A and B are shown apart, each in its own frame.
Chain A
Amino acid sequence: MVDKLPKIQDSLLDLDPEKTVENIRNALQEDIAPLDIVGSLAEAMNKVGEKYEVGEFFLPELMMAGEIMKEAMSIVTPYLKRPEEVHQMGKVVLGTVEGDLHDIGKNLVGTMLRSSGFDVVDLGADVPVRRFVESVRNEKPNIVAISALLTSTMDKMKEIVDELNKEGLRKSVKILVGGAPIDEEFAKQIGADAYGKDAVDAVRKTKELAGSED
Chain B
Amino acid sequence: MNHRERVLAALEHKEPDRVPVDLGSTNTSIHIKAYEDLKRHLGLKSETVLLDMMQQLALIDEPVLRRFDIDTRQIRSSPPPARAPKKTLPDGSYLDSWGVRRAKVGYYYDMPSDGHPLRSASIDDLDRYPWPDPHEGAEKAIEYMEKRVKYLHEKTDYAVVYSSSINFFENSWYLTGFQRFFTDLIRNPSFACRVMDKVVEYGAKFESEVLPEIGDYIDVVRTSDDLATQNGPMLSLEMYRKYVKPRQKKIFQLIKSKTNAKIYYHSCGSVSYFLDDLAEIGVDVINPVQVSAKNMDTKMLKERFGDKLCFWGAIDTQRVLPYGSVKDVEEEVKKRIRDLASNGGYILCAVHNIQPGVPPENIIAMHDAAKKWGKHNVKIQ
Measured in the bound complex, the distance between the Cα atoms of B344 and A210 in whole Å is 53
By the criterion CB–CB under 8 Å, are A101 and B110 in contact? Answer: yes
Measured in the bound complex, the distance between the Cα atoms of B187 and A17 in whole Å is 9
Contact of A151 among B185, B231, B232, B318 (CB under 8 A): B318
B279 interface residue (CB < 8 Å to A):
no
**Which residues on A sit within 8 Å (CB–CB) of B111?**
101
B317 interface residue (CB < 8 Å to A):
yes
B236 interface residue (CB < 8 Å to A):
yes
User: In whole Å, how far is B229's beta carbon from the nearest beta carbon of chain A?
Assistant: 7
B106 interface residue (CB < 8 Å to A):
yes
By the criterion CB–CB under 8 Å, are B106 and A99 in contact? Answer: yes
A107 interface residue (CB < 8 Å to B):
yes
By the criterion CB–CB under 8 Å, are A152 and B355 in contact? Answer: yes
Residue of A nearest to B290 (CB): A180
Measured in the bound complex, the distance between the Cα atoms of B81 and A111 in whole Å is 41
Question: Which of A31-39, A61-69, A113-121 makes up part of the contact surface?
Answer: A61-69
Number of A-B contacts (CB under 8 A): 80
Contact A59 to B234, CB < 8 A, known contacts A151-B317, A152-B356 = yes
Measured in the bound complex, the distance between the Cα atoms of B295 and A55 in whole Å is 13
Residue of B nearest to A62 (CB): B182
Interface size on A, residues (CB 8 A): 31
**Central interface residue in A100, A101, A104, A197, by most chain B CB within 10 Å:** A101
**Which residues on B sit within 8 Å (CB–CB) of A152?**
106-107, 355-357
By the criterion CB–CB under 8 Å, are A60 and B107 in contact? Answer: no
By the criterion CB–CB under 8 Å, are B103 and A101 in contact? Answer: yes
By the criterion CB–CB under 8 Å, are B322 and A15 in contact? Answer: no
Interface residue ranges of A150-195 to B (CB < 8 Å): 150-153, 180-181
User: In whole Å, how far is A140's beta carbon from the nearest beta carbon of chain B?
Assistant: 27
Residue of A nearest to B239 (CB): A60
Measured in the bound complex, the distance between the Cα atoms of B189 and A64 in whole Å is 13
By the criterion CB–CB under 8 Å, are B105 and A126 in contact? Answer: yes
User: In whole Å, how far is B282's beta carbon from the nearest beta carbon of chain A?
Assistant: 24
Contact of B183 among A60, A181, A198 (CB under 8 A): A60
By the criterion CB–CB under 8 Å, are A198 and B105 in contact? Answer: no
Secondary structure class of chain A's binding surface, majority of residues:
loop
Interface residue ranges of B129-143 to A (CB < 8 Å): none
User: In whole Å, how far is A149's beta carbon from the nearest beta carbon of chain B?
Assistant: 9
B246 interface residue (CB < 8 Å to A):
no
Measured in the bound complex, the distance between the Cα atoms of B295 and A100 in whole Å is 26
B144 interface residue (CB < 8 Å to A):
no
A58 interface residue (CB < 8 Å to B):
yes
A98 interface residue (CB < 8 Å to B):
yes
**Central interface residue in A15, A67, A104, A152, by most chain B CB within 10 Å:** A152
**Which residues on A sit within 8 Å (CB–CB) of B48?**
none
By the criterion CB–CB under 8 Å, are A198 and B233 in contact? Answer: no
Contact A103 to B113, CB < 8 A, known contacts A58-B233, A64-B187, A67-B183 = yes
By the criterion CB–CB under 8 Å, are A197 and B231 in contact? Answer: yes
User: In whole Å, how far is A77's beta carbon from the nearest beta carbon of chain B?
Assistant: 21
**Which residues on A sit within 8 Å (CB–CB) of B235?**
58-60
B186 interface residue (CB < 8 Å to A):
yes
B79 interface residue (CB < 8 Å to A):
no
Measured in the bound complex, the distance between the Cα atoms of B194 and A160 in whole Å is 43
Measured in the bound complex, the distance between the Cα atoms of B229 and A149 in whole Å is 11
**Which residues on A sit within 8 Å (CB–CB) of B178?**
104
User: In whole Å, how far is B47's beta carbon from the nearest beta carbon of chain A?
Assistant: 23
Q: Mark A102-141, 1 if CB is under 8 A from B, else 0.
A: 1111010000000000000000111000000000000000
**Which residues on B sit within 8 Å (CB–CB) of A181?**
230, 292, 318
**Which residues on B sit within 8 Å (CB–CB) of A124?**
113
User: In whole Å, how far is A60's beta carbon from the nearest beta carbon of chain B?
Assistant: 4
**Which residues on A sit within 8 Å (CB–CB) of B381?**
none
Q: Mark B216-243, 1 if CB is under 8 A from A, else 0.
A: 0000000000000111111110010000
Q: Closest 6 interchain pairs by CB?
A: A99-B106, A101-B110, A180-B230, A60-B182, A64-B186, A101-B105
Which B residues form the contact surface with A (CB < 8 A)?
Answer: 103, 105-107, 110-113, 178-179, 182-183, 185-187, 229-236, 239, 292, 317-318, 322, 355-357
Q: Would you mind naming 10 contact pairs between A and B with Cβ atoms under 8 Å apart?
A: A58-B235, A63-B179, A67-B179, A98-B106, A101-B106, A125-B113, A152-B355, A152-B356, A180-B229, A181-B318
Which A residues form the contact surface with B (CB < 8 A)?
Answer: 15, 17, 55, 57-61, 63-64, 67, 98-105, 107, 124-126, 150-153, 180-181, 197-198
